[in-house]
Amino acid sequence: MPSSIRSWDGAEKASRFSGVTGGVAPASAGVGANKFVAKVASDLEKPDGLVVVEAGREAEFLAPLPIERLWGVGKATAKELTALGIATIGQLQRVPRETLVSRLGDHGAGLHELAFGHDLRPVQPWAPPKSMGAETTFERDTSDRARLDATLRGQAERVARELRAEQLSAARVTLKLRFADFRTLTRSHTSDPTQDGLELYRRAVILLSREKLGQPVRLIGVSASALSAEQTGQLGLLEANTVRRERLARAVDRITGRFGVDAIRPATLMRRRPSERD
């Protein structure tokens, strides 16, 4: 049961899965005129709710909520506000801005703005990915090293295609193993940035070779992180074999883009067991 995963930080965090069956986890959502109000709204009806705050009614929406809902109100700040008789955001709205500034400085000014639902930070609907990965959950737990190696090979190729599609290279490769008892471990290695599937595989399989498999493996995965822009136009500085593999990979990308990802596959994957799924 293979899956491909990409992760982002910031306003967007998403995962893409292929070949995965099962239910969809519930999610809550908040809609507001800015990031702060939308975030507060999304937290109110978990795990499976939708809260919409109409523009212009932010202060009304926030008023009954406890002051701890404001960003930047931790234990220390909450204690100071409680000493002023402030327990809800509505009570904070009635305190003059100058009073908050005299007690809390610039932080007080910021809390006064948030109390009325004012948040001028821009929304970033897209942030660059921080990692790309692929995982496979086996139908039956396995200790077969050859099968684990072959699975890693296919995963590395998928991750490499993602990297090249985004014009990125990865310096860190991480191996993930989950065993029959659901114990999970990760091992990482950092080296020169690459977007070559064979190189990603070689780094991952070295990490695997260092592990003693005391239990059968339920899940195996490889991810690439420490991402940077690909070194376009600098192939001449690389080793000859690396240059050839880069050119070959791009040629394969063009073919698979037209005829599908199974149009060309590494020979090692062609020898996999018929029961192994892609």
125/105 Cα distance (integer angstroms): 32
**Domains present along the chain, CATH in parentheses:** 29-115 (1.10.150.20), 128-270 (3.30.1490.100)
- Encode pLDDT of 98-148 as tens digits: 999 998 899 999 999 999 999 988 877 777 789 999 999 999 999 999 999
Interval 56-103: pLDDT, tens? 999 999 999 999 999 889 888 999 899 889 999 999 999 999 999 998
The number of beta carbons lying within 10 Å of the beta carbon of residue 127 is 12
Average pLDDT, the chain: 81
Asked if omega into 47 is within 30° of 0 (cis), the reply is yes
Residue 172 bridge partners (DSSP) = 190, 225
168-191, pLDDT tens digit by residue? 999 999 999 999 999 999 999 999
CA distance 199 to 242: 9
Angle at 250 between CA 246 and CA 256, to 5 degrees: 140
- At residue 52, the pLDDT reads 93
Rounded-to-integer distance, Cα 180 and Cα 185, Å: 12
Reported pTM: 0.53
Under a CB-based contact definition with an 8 Å cutoff, are residues 167 and 229 in contact? yes
Alpha carbons within 13 angstroms on the beta-carbon side of residue 85 total 5
Q: Which two three-digit tokens encode residue 102?
A: 């005299």
